[in-house]
């Protein structure tokens, strides 16, 4: 099945990932930087170990993958790590910087202490404060040994590129970096990761990766009004990784445990998802595609297992979540004798939404919503479809999506974009139908909700 109109959204525009901030307080403006997410990254870059014989060099290169430094520091078609990727904000544009070892335009003059200061405290060598678009609140947890390996790699494993940093296009007063001093004092966590003696070695390794270099919480933890993540580790029992919204994309809670599923089964599913971006229910999309493409697919089996162990154990997962398990579909495929499916197949179209589904979606996702896993995700019993917050669901229908292309699953399949074809009311009707069929029980979607997401995403879809 070939999509008629595939979307080449191979890169996520930073603009689409920035929050729509209504407060004009200068401090609140900083919030926006915290929400800039990793974006474009030219394929094939970032693999600069060359003939590295040095173990520390190889280790540093691996850690740079885990931290996904290239996602932000390599511009599309740019030289690896030479910076210049624009992060558009409503207050102007911020550019990532050159972190190659060039002594004048890059970080070649950085000592180890300067480097660690930038990564852990958000302070550049010349003393200026960095905005938290650079995820230093997470990197603060990186151990000294790993920080040294990263430094070694950036000094000796990355080719120097002479490319000047671009001046920020931020407007006053948002360009006053000194404001970040206050932010850092209030919100920046201090100290490297400390092992929890009550947990296993594997759990601790997972926690170290997720809370630290992996900076998963930059997207998956809710942000406060000044852009600070509301929690930085699993000791907070409810907020950390409980889901965050980045204008139009919802990075779901990583704490919800499907009813009836064993931790072992969920853990195995997670490892597969993190490595390939695909699971039994669906596939990574939006910013998560980039995370899998450029970072997670390169992680060792041991590290992926450690991450999955941490994510599926207490305290992160303690309670069962009723919402995640629909009436049918709990055990996998939806009941194909489902009344909705029977009616659709017989051509009994009960509502505008059902008709729109039949015409636009059923070719790939089937009239019973079971799709054709793993090529076309199932929509019955799908967590994204059933989520209370429909932002991501609306977003994917408006702008389409492509699956990550990884070594373990190389063909990127695409979901077409419907923004040019369906209006707000049609998408609302269609999604309301999808959210109430085949055992799904999620709240209806309104045209206003679609309009809101459309306003933030349309420019990013092309
Ligand atoms: C989500 C995007 C993002 C990721 C991921 C990221 N950075 Fe950054 N980084 C930035 C931005 C944006 C800046 C500039 C911030 C500013 O100007 O306030 C920056 C600044 C820096 C600086 C200060 C450079 C200077 O010119 O003074 C260093 C060093 C740095 N990053 C290293 C890294 C390393 C190493 C990694 C991976 C472990 C990494 N960054 C990952 C976005 C990112
Ligand atoms: C740049 C933002 C961003 C970062 C960083 C990020 N994620 Fe995500 N993640 C998302 C978004 C958006 C989604 C929803 C789209 C999807 O399901 O593919 C998502 C989805 C997921 C899902 C699927 C959840 C579900 O219920 O379907 C898992 C698991 C996940 N992320 C794990 C991680 C882990 C582990 C990390 C850190 C190593 C991480 N993510 C880092 C944005 C991010
Ligand atoms: C040409 C085939 C095709 C058509 C038509 C199509 N889709 Fe998709 N859809 C896909 C593919 C492929 C994916 C996986 C893309 C990805 O994960 O990046 C997908 C993903 C999705 C997802 C995300 C599921 C998940 O868990 O990751 C939703 C929701 C969705 N489609 C809904 C719809 C709706 C609603 C329509 C009709 C308006 C539709 N699709 C039409 C192929 C299609």
Interval 306-347: pLDDT, tens: 999 999 988 888 654 434 333 333 333 334 456 777 677 666
- 412-431, pLDDT tens digit by residue? 677 888 888 889 999 999 99
b/e sequence 302-313, b meaning 16+ C-beta within 10 Å: ebbbbbbbbbbb
In the chain, what are the domain boundaries? Answer: 19-194, 328-461
b/e sequence 70-88, b meaning 16+ C-beta within 10 Å: bbbbbbeebbbbbbbbbbb
Q: What is the mean pLDDT of residues 425-447?
A: 91
CATH fold, domain 328-461, is: Cytochrome Bc1 Complex; Chain D, domain 2 (1.10.760)
Residue 449's nearest CA partner among 427, 422, 419, 420 is: 427
| Percent of the chain topping pLDDT 90 | 36
Measure the CA–CA gap between 338 and 354, rounded to whole angstroms: 14
Contact status, residue 398 vs residue 417, Cβ threshold 8 Å: yes
Pocket of ligand 1 (CB under 6 A): 38, 64, 67-69, 71-73, 87, 94, 96-97, 99, 107, 115, 118-119, 124, 130-131, 133-135, 150
- 149-174, pLDDT tens digit by residue? 999 999 999 999 999 998 887 767 66
For the CA of 97, the closest atom of ligand 1 is 26
- 246-280, pLDDT tens digit by residue? 655 778 889 887 777 788 888 999 999 999 988 77
Substitution site in 85, 93, 96, 229 for ligand 1 pocket (most atoms within 8 Å of beta carbon): 96
Measure the CA–CA gap between 271 and 279, rounded to whole angstroms: 9
Nearest ligand to the C-alpha of residue 402? 3
pTM for the complete prediction?
0.69
The residue count of the chain comes to 462
């Amino acid at each position: 099945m070939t999509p008629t109109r595939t979307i080449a959204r191979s890169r996520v525009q930073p603009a689409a990932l920035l929050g729509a901030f209504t407060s004009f307080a200068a401090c609140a403006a900083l919030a926006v930087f915290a929400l800039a997410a990793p974006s474009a990254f030219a394929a094939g870059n970032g693999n600069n170990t060359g003939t590295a014989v040095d173990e520390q060099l190889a280790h540093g290169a691996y850690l740079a993958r885990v931290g996904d430094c290239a996602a932000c520091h390599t511009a599309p078609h740019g030289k690896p790590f030479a910076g210049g990727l624009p992060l558009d904000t409503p207050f102007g544009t911020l550019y990532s910087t050159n972190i190659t070892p060039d002594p004048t335009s890059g970080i070649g003059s950085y000592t180890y202490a300067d480097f660690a200061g930038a990564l852990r405290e958000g302070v550049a060598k010349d003393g200026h404060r960095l905005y938290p678009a650079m995820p230093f609140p997470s990197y603060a947890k990186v151990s000294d040994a790993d920080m040294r390996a990263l430094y070694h790699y950036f000094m000796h494993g990355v080719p120097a590129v002479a490319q000047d940093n671009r001046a920020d296009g931020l407007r006053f007063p948002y360009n006053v970096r000194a404001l970040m001093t206050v932010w850092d004092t209030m919100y920046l966590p201090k100290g490297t990761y400390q092992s929890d003696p009550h947990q296993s070695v594997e759990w601790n390794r997972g926690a170290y990766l997720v809370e630290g270099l992996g900076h998963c919480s930059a997207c998956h933890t809710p942000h406060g009004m000044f852009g600070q993540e509301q929690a930085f580790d699993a000791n907070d029992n409810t907020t950390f990784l409980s889901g965050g919204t980045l204008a139009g994309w919802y990075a779901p809670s990583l704490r919800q445990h499907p009813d009836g599923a064993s931790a072992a089964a969920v853990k195995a599913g997670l490892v597969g998802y993190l490595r390939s971006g695909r699971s039994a229910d669906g596939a990574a999309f939006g910013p998560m595609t980039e995370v899998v493409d450029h970072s997670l697919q390169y992680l060792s089996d041991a590290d992926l297992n450690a991450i999955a162990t941490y994510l599926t154990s207490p305290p992160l997962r303690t309670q069962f979540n009723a919402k995640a398990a629909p009436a049918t579909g709990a055990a996998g495929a939806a009941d194909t004798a489902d009344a909705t499916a029977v009616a659709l197949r017989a051509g009994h179209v009960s509502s505008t939404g059902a008709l729109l589904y039949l015409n636009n979606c059923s070719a790939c996702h089937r009239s019973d919503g079971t799709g054709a896993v793993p090529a076309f995700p199932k929509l019955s019993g799908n967590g994204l479809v059933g989520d209370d917050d429909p932002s991501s669901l609306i977003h994917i229908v408006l702008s389409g999506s492509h699956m990550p292309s990884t070594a373990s699953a190389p063909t990127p399949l695409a979901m077409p974009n419907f923004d040019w074809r369906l209006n707000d009311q049609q998408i609302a009707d269609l999604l309301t139908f999808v959210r109430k069929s085949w055992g799904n029980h999620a709240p209806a979607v309104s045209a206003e909700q679609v309009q809101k997401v459309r306003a933030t995403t349309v420019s990013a879809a092309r």
